Chains A and B, each alone.
Chain A
Amino acid sequence: MTMPIETPAGQATEAGDDASRLWLDRLAASGARRDEAVVELHALLLKAARFEVDRRRAALPHLRGGDHEDLAQQSADDALLAVLGKLGEFRGESRFTTWAYKFALLEAAVKVRRRAWQGREIPLEDGAWSVLADRASSAGSRAEDAELFAAIREEIERSLSERQREVLVAVTLNDVPIDVLAERLATTRGALYKTLHDARHKLRGALARRGFQVRSGGEEER
């Protein structure tokens, strides 16, 4: 039995909306009906992959036009396999197309980030310290900020493990994409983010013990 689920307003509440159910029916069918659905699904994923590659075109100035299309095609191919392999996980909490798009966007984003960093060294910690030093020296009238940035550097060196320091510095100070770092360190994005989360928690604790009241902030722009 399917349990009702909470979905955005205006959508059906059991196995998703009609169009989503139709997608699932066609993809679960056999013969020409399924083949046609798979072709349509690939076209949908290719549209999303092209959207993402185009959006990130500035990150790949050295690529030719055909290379962008190759990246989009590879992303759509990989996303198609992922979507078909995970159909059983679709619970109708969004439209099927929105659910499928995220796989193509992820594949394309990861491929573009990795291509942009292909052959590039991961920056060393020395470069990252200048970010904090610049902040500390430009704090001007806000002396407390200068102290805070100096303390952050000290605690990164003192309180974090080598792995935590490596991940935190690369991702937050040197702007290394987490997918790229995960590939270089032979691990996953999720595992690295857990390391980053633990490092931040430890750093906040160390700063709090020194009497700093750390303001909260966010990466995400709305």
Chain B
Amino acid sequence: MSNDRQQTGEHDRVLARVLGPEGPELSCEECFAQLDRYVELALAGDPADEKAPGMRAHLEGCPACAEDFRSLRDLVSGETGAES
């Protein structure tokens, strides 16, 4: 059973990488331009995806931008946590 789930997860991961997200998405340049605002919105619990349409789809499709997002989020959230 768990092996089936593992297989399904791996299938989905390969499909997601190859076929990418559906729907409109930002370009890498647009993503970078909005990244700081998007991260702060997300960390503040604001509806970041509503305020930055196409951002989430791009992060789903672009491994490099997704890494940039995670790094900025973790750096800023670590600082915020240290301040509080």
Are A10 and B27 in contact, with the CB atoms below 8 A?
no
Closest residue of A by beta carbon distance from B61: A219
Q: Chain B's nearest CB lies how many Å from the CB of A179?
A: 6
Contact string against B for A residues 201-221, beta-carbon threshold 8 Å, 1 for contact and 0 otherwise: 001100100000011111111
- Contact stretch, chosen from A33-41, A62-70, A98-106: A98-106
Decide yes or no whether A115 CB sits under 8 A from chain B: no
Closest residue of B by beta carbon distance from A215: B15
Chain B interface extent, by class: 35 or more
CA distance A207 to B20 in the complex (A): 13
> Out of B11, B17, B35, which one reaches A102, CB within 8 Å?
B35
Q: Chain A's nearest CB lies how many Å from the CB of B5?
A: 12
Contacts of B41 in A (CB 8 A): 8
Are B17 and A219 in contact, with the CB atoms below 8 A?
yes
CA distance A194 to B27 in the complex (A): 7
Are B7 and A219 in contact, with the CB atoms below 8 A?
no
Closest residue of B by beta carbon distance from A131: B14
Given contacts A190-B29, A218-B21, A220-B66, contact A197 B61 (CB under 8 A): yes
CA distance A78 to B43 in the complex (A): 27
Given contacts A131-B14, A193-B28, contact A94 B36 (CB under 8 A): yes
CA distance A95 to B84 in the complex (A): 17
Given contacts A52-B71, A101-B76, A102-B32, contact A200 B18 (CB under 8 A): yes
- Contact stretch, chosen from A22-30, A117-125, A137-145: A137-145
> Out of A138, A173, A217, A220, which one reaches B69, CB within 8 Å?
A220
Are A190 and B27 in contact, with the CB atoms below 8 A?
yes
Contact string against A for B residues 1-28, beta-carbon threshold 8 Å, 1 for contact and 0 otherwise: 0001001101111111111111001011
